[in-house]
A and B are shown apart, each in its own frame.
Chain A
Amino acid sequence: FKDDFSTSPHLFTPMSPYDLELPIQASSQLSHSKELHTDFSSVDLSFLPDVTQDNKEQNLSEDGHEMQKELDGSLPSKEDSGVFMDESSLSHPGAAQASPEAPGMCPPLTPMTPVTPASSASESSGIVPQLQNIVSTVNLACKLDLKNIALHARNAEYNPKRFAAVIMRIREPRTTALIFSSGKMVCTGAKSEEQSRLAARKYARVVQKLGFPAKFLDFKIQNMVGSCDVRFPIRLEGLVLTHQQFSSYEPELFPGLVYRMVKPRIVLLIFVSGKVVLTGAKDRSEIYEAFENIYPILRGFKK
């Protein structure tokens, strides 16, 4: 065949298969500024530097556990769930034909025991996100003398000028704990809920052996982080156009796309390499469910 490319090069066309939706979205924003497609080609901003950050150019850790700390406080507010219910029917074209994978995965009923999704039908992705980090808190219910603890424990560091807690580490399970003088403790770094609980108990035992009447009250998992790889590259620019209500993609700030799923309330970091990080879950079923929700969407952007 003979390709005729003698015409001028194509203008920048978005790659998404959902081209039809774009005019609707664009016009709704520009509804009160139709005449404003003004000419900015004459604007000369050469006197202004563009401060770029070269440290962002390295592929930031695609399984970025560190990101979890930033995202802890940035979950969507409650009003989001009301606004976006109608959007979800538009943005999840795969939802109609994808039946719930396993009986335990129906969204309204979260099972009490963690359930690994069974790969029943061909619609299921066959990929299981791996848990990378669990953050849990426990109340030791006694006032602690942090200086004393730092002096008597080998695995503790305490720098009151920098942070008002003792940082303690144990080797098995490999975790880190922040122990506060009020008796509250945060345990991070475990790879499963049981490991987190075991680690927290070990820290409590260390504190007990140091002479404090430590108890083990209100153990609670606060956050779970999982990651997986869909094994194909993803057009993030297309994804942010079609799922604008949920996604935030600012390549000037961060190389990944931040997708705030409403149901379940999970934040996903989606990278061009196909790696996905899921965070904000209180239970591991939420992570599995979120991934099963996002997988058909990502498949739509496979190139």
Chain B
Amino acid sequence: MAARGRCPECGSGSLVEDAHYAQQQLVCAACGCVLSEGLLTTTYTDEEHLREVAYSQSTGQKEQLSRCLQRGTRRVQDLCKVLQLPAVFEETAVSYLQRALQLPAFRLVSLQKKELLGGCCVLVTCRQHRWPLTMGTLCSLLYAPQELFAGVLLSLQRELGLSVPALSLADLVTTHLSSFRLVQPTAGVPAPFLEDKDKLLARTMAIVELASETWLVTGRHPVPVVTAAAFLAWQSLRPGPRLRCPLARFCRLAGVDLPPPAHLRLRELLDILLGMASQLSWLRGFRLDSKTVVKHVGDLLQHWLFLLKHAFSQQHGEEHQDTAPGHGCKDKDSGDKDSLGQDSPGQGSGRPSAGAQVRGGSRRPLLPPCLLRPRKRLQPAAPSAAGAAVTGDEPISDSEIEQYLRSPEEIRAFRKAKAW
């Protein structure tokens, strides 16, 4: 019969603790108003005394846990079905999910993050089995912002101590190409654009490997590289009718998204190929540009190791003094001649000059593009010199501080303007 406080309705002090169907209530004896009710679910004494308990300390979370787990498991199962993963993946992912939900780090996060947890477990499982699944795909399935997904993935990796191997680029090429619609006759795709899947796959793999050798892949998103490489491979397998098809149209025909960086990757790949082409003995006479070099991609890929060594200088000026023997191979690819002296307008100022430079004997080094075109940065003028003089305990002059304070007129004007 503890009386605490007064009734808000009638102001009477006679408050009674009563039970209504086993639910504790604090009732005013005078007017019958219910001041507060106990919660039905917990057994903590705090709640019996009608004080609020945080979710993390209540017993409610034990019941919530199974519901959470059920929802998460269902989500994982749906994901595995949609992505057509083998059955073993589902078991592994669910076991990770169970382990994760035992930990307080995941039990007490927001519902949105719990939704993503299932997706993260699926991703980790796929990575461990070398199944190429990109985060972009998973995020689009879960309708999740990528930053949030990344955060949950990293904390999952840390808490459970899982090793998440890197995405294998070769496998990604395989799955990415299998979704291209240019391998079977489809309505809307002209006959010259159809291509044999194995040939396309082999050549795309070779181009992707070349890209990773020449620093175009490290640090970049993998999918645009694969898209650009597939486009180049497709063009080079039958240059005649396909050279005029731009990247955007190619992606539309193939039924694939065009990621914005793919144009840049394509440009970088062509740059590398042009550099290599300058070292092929039977191409030296021609003035190649980004269109015509596509016709010779087959040859360039066949001898890429040799060409890379000769076209680009190694790191510390370690130049190969090897005289290139005549290869004696015939120009297999296209019967038509390249138009000599064809200047491609507006193809990018870097390319013709790069070609001329290489032929001139000075080779550009094989470096990541960010090092080849460094952005101008404002260097702070001698920071160490200024910093060394400071001891941290210098006297601070009043005038220096006063410059940061408002004058009375300013304050008045400010007050008027802001009506504080």
Q: For chain B residues 75-93, which have a beta carbon within 8 Å of chain A? A: 83-84, 86, 88
Cβ of B224 within 8 Å of any chain A Cβ, yes or no, is yes
- Residues in chain B near residue A256, CB distance under 8 A: 219
Q: How far is the CB of B220 from chain A (nearest CB, A)?
A: 6
A251 and B220 in contact (CB under 8 A), knowing A10-B209, A30-B128, A50-B134? yes
Contact B222 A252 (CB under 8 A): yes
Contact B179 A44 (CB under 8 A): yes
Task: Give the complex CA separation of A240 and B164 in angstroms.
Answer: 10
Cβ of A38 within 8 Å of any chain B Cβ, yes or no, is yes
Contact B181 A154 (CB under 8 A): no
Residue ID in chain B nearest A128 by CB atoms = B384
Task: Give the complex CA separation of A205 and B135 in angstroms.
Answer: 50
A50 and B392 in contact (CB under 8 A), knowing A36-B88, A76-B158, A153-B404? no
Contact A51 B136 (CB under 8 A): yes
Interface residues on B, range: 35 or more
Contact B166 A237 (CB under 8 A): yes
Contact B141 A48 (CB under 8 A): yes
A36 and B371 in contact (CB under 8 A), knowing A8-B202, A152-B405? no
Task: Give the complex CA separation of A5 and B220 in angstroms.
Answer: 29
Contact B218 A49 (CB under 8 A): no
Contact A12 B174 (CB under 8 A): no
Contact B261 A57 (CB under 8 A): yes
- Residues in chain A near residue B154, CB distance under 8 A: 74, 248
A: number of interface residues (CB 8 Å):
88
Contact A195 B392 (CB under 8 A): yes
Contact A153 B406 (CB under 8 A): yes
- Residues in chain A near residue B129, CB distance under 8 A: 30, 33, 36
Q: How far is the CB of B152 from chain A (nearest CB, A)?
A: 12
Task: Give the complex CA separation of A229 and B371 in angstroms.
Answer: 12
Contact B383 A255 (CB under 8 A): no
Contact B179 A249 (CB under 8 A): no
Contact A151 B170 (CB under 8 A): no
Task: Give the complex CA separation of A210 and B405 in angstroms.
Answer: 8
Contact A170 B135 (CB under 8 A): no
Cβ of A100 within 8 Å of any chain B Cβ, yes or no, is no
Task: Give the complex CA separation of A192 and B391 in angstroms.
Answer: 10
Cβ of B347 within 8 Å of any chain A Cβ, yes or no, is no
Cβ of B256 within 8 Å of any chain A Cβ, yes or no, is yes
Q: For chain B residues 348-395, which have a beta carbon within 8 Å of chain A? A: 366-368, 370-371, 375, 383-384, 387, 390-394
Cβ of A202 within 8 Å of any chain B Cβ, yes or no, is yes
- Residues in chain A near residue B135, CB distance under 8 A: 250, 252-253
Contact A252 B405 (CB under 8 A): no
- Residues in chain B near residue A170, CB distance under 8 A: 404
Return the contact of A49 from the options B140, B178, B305 (Cβ within 8 A).
B140
- Residues in chain A near residue B404, CB distance under 8 A: 153-155, 170, 206
Cβ of A94 within 8 Å of any chain B Cβ, yes or no, is no
What 1/0 flags go to B146-167 for Cβ under 8 Å of A? 1000100010011001011111
Return the contact of A151 from the options B131, B403, B414 (Cβ within 8 A).
B414
Task: Give the complex CA separation of A265 and B161 in angstroms.
Answer: 17
Q: For chain A residues 1-25, which have a beta carbon within 8 Å of chain B? A: 1-3, 5-6, 8-12, 15
Task: Give the complex CA separation of A26 and B168 in angstroms.
Answer: 12
Cβ of A244 within 8 Å of any chain B Cβ, yes or no, is yes
- Residues in chain A near residue B368, CB distance under 8 A: 233, 272-273
Cβ of B264 within 8 Å of any chain A Cβ, yes or no, is yes
Cβ of B130 within 8 Å of any chain A Cβ, yes or no, is yes
Contact A57 B220 (CB under 8 A): yes
Cβ of B29 within 8 Å of any chain A Cβ, yes or no, is no
A233 and B259 in contact (CB under 8 A), knowing A9-B206, A50-B223, A205-B401? no
Task: Give the complex CA separation of A234 and B221 in angstroms.
Answer: 17
- Residues in chain B near residue A92, CB distance under 8 A: none
Q: For chain B residues 295-347, which have a beta carbon within 8 Å of chain A? A: 301-306, 315, 322, 325
A197 and B392 in contact (CB under 8 A), knowing A12-B208, A12-B209, A252-B221? yes
What 1/0 flags go to B236-272 for Cβ under 8 Å of A? 0000000000000000000111011100100000000
Task: Give the complex CA separation of A201 and B365 in angstroms.
Answer: 50
A201 and B175 in contact (CB under 8 A), knowing A46-B181, A46-B255? no
Cβ of B21 within 8 Å of any chain A Cβ, yes or no, is no
Cβ of A214 within 8 Å of any chain B Cβ, yes or no, is no
Contact B387 A52 (CB under 8 A): no
- Residues in chain A near residue B166, CB distance under 8 A: 237, 240-241, 249-250
Q: For chain A residues 141-158, which have a beta carbon within 8 Å of chain B? A: 147, 151-155
Cβ of A193 within 8 Å of any chain B Cβ, yes or no, is yes
25 A-B pairs with C-beta separation under 8 A: A9-B209, A30-B130, A33-B88, A33-B129, A44-B179, A45-B179, A52-B136, A52-B261, A56-B221, A151-B411, A153-B404, A154-B404, A194-B387, A197-B392, A197-B393, A198-B396, A205-B396, A206-B401, A206-B405, A210-B405, A232-B315, A250-B150, A252-B135, A255-B220, A272-B219
Residues of B within 8 A of A (CB): 83-84, 86, 88, 128-132, 134-137, 139-141, 146, 150, 154, 157-158, 161, 163-171, 174-175, 178-181, 202, 205-206, 208-209, 212, 215, 217-224, 255-257, 259-261, 264, 301-306, 315, 322, 325, 366-368, 370-371, 375, 383-384, 387, 390-394, 396, 400-406, 410-411, 414-415, 420
The 6 closest A-B pairs by CB, nearest first: A46-B179, A194-B392, A197-B392, A255-B219, A50-B136, A54-B260
